Amino acid sequence: MNIVKTNYLIEISEAEMAATIELTAPLFMFMILVSAMTTINPQKIRSACGANILNIVLKSPITFMKLVSESGCAAETVEKYVKTHINNNLIYQKKGKFRILYSPDLKIPQLEFYELMLNPTIKAIVLILLKSKSLSQVELVAMTDKSNPSISRGLKLLLDKKILKRNYHAPFSTYYIPNKKYIASILAETNPILANNFEHFDLCYPKPSIFLSVFQ
């Protein structure tokens, strides 16, 4: 029997050496294959991020932080590609007091509505009134679980933007959306997922907590 001396000063037979090679060769090839499959091309990832960011913005308006979250790309990568897409006139941006919005176009009413709906109180008021004829401030407080001052501020903003109108009559003024079809169309344009879900839910007066939780 021939003896083979290894680098580790262990003597093994040629048959044992052949068996060892036969057993380890598939594992070695598998490791090479896995290594090749997991080799990441940074340029391809960046290109994928750029395309993904563009596709997301073209669907509906979106904030920067939400764009980072939905794209799964690093904030600096999102910032880079957003600037590129803006420079190429593929998307547009609108700077507000507290956030920047990106959108496929510059339809100001839609962008302003989208920005308003980022406020949870305003979103609750609009969604409830889209399903109601008219409601008082007291009723809206009870139905949304929001504070009276919060509802009051929300109503004022919506009145200023002419999304709501007020009925003055005793004992309470009531509020309503005069053009529900128009507001519903803007909702569908700026937040299609919310609009699609909205159609399948009924308002559970006087405590639509389950209804509202769907749209958080």
pLDDT at 40 over 50: no
The pLDDT value given to residue 75: 92
Same domain, 167 and 203: yes
Q: Which long-range contacts (CB under 8 A, 24 or more apart) does 142-145 make?
A: 142/206, 142/207, 143/205, 143/206, 143/207, 143/208, 144/212, 145/209
Q: Do residues 191 and 120 share a domain?
A: yes
Place of tokens 């509020």: 175
Q: Are 130 and 118 in contact (CB under 8 A)?
A: no
- What was the pLDDT predicted at 210? 40
Angle at which helices 180-190 and 108-116 pack, to 10 degrees? 80
pLDDT value for 27: 53
Count CB neighbours of 196 within 10 A: 10
Q: Examine the domain organization and report whether 127 and 99 are in the same domain.
A: no
- 96, 127: one domain: no
Same domain assignment for residues 148 and 202: yes
- pLDDT of 192 reads 84
pLDDT at 1: 53
Per-residue pLDDT tens for 177-212? 999 999 999 998 888 888 888 766 555 544 544 444
Distance CA(62)–CA(70), nearest Å, equals 10
The reply to whether 16 and 57 lie within a common domain is: no
Identify whether residues 147 and 160 lie together within a single domain: yes
Q: Are residues 122 and 80 in the same domain?
A: no
25 plus 11 within the same structural domain: yes
In this structure, are 83 and 154 located in the same domain? no
Q: Tell me the C-alpha distance between 86 and 6, whole Å.
A: 64
Asked if residue 46 and residue 31 are part of one domain, the reply reads: no
Query: What's the whole-number average pLDDT of the chain?
Result: 78
- Supply the range of the domain harboring residue 13: 3-38
CATH number of the domain at 162, please.
1.10.10.10
Please check whether residues 48 and 74 belong to one and the same domain.
Answer: yes
Q: Which amino acid is at 38?
A: T
Number of domain units in the chain: 3
Last residue of a domain, one of 106, 133, 155: 106
How does pLDDT run across 55-97, given as a tens digit for each residue?
Answer: 999 988 899 999 999 999 999 999 999 999 999 989 988 887 7
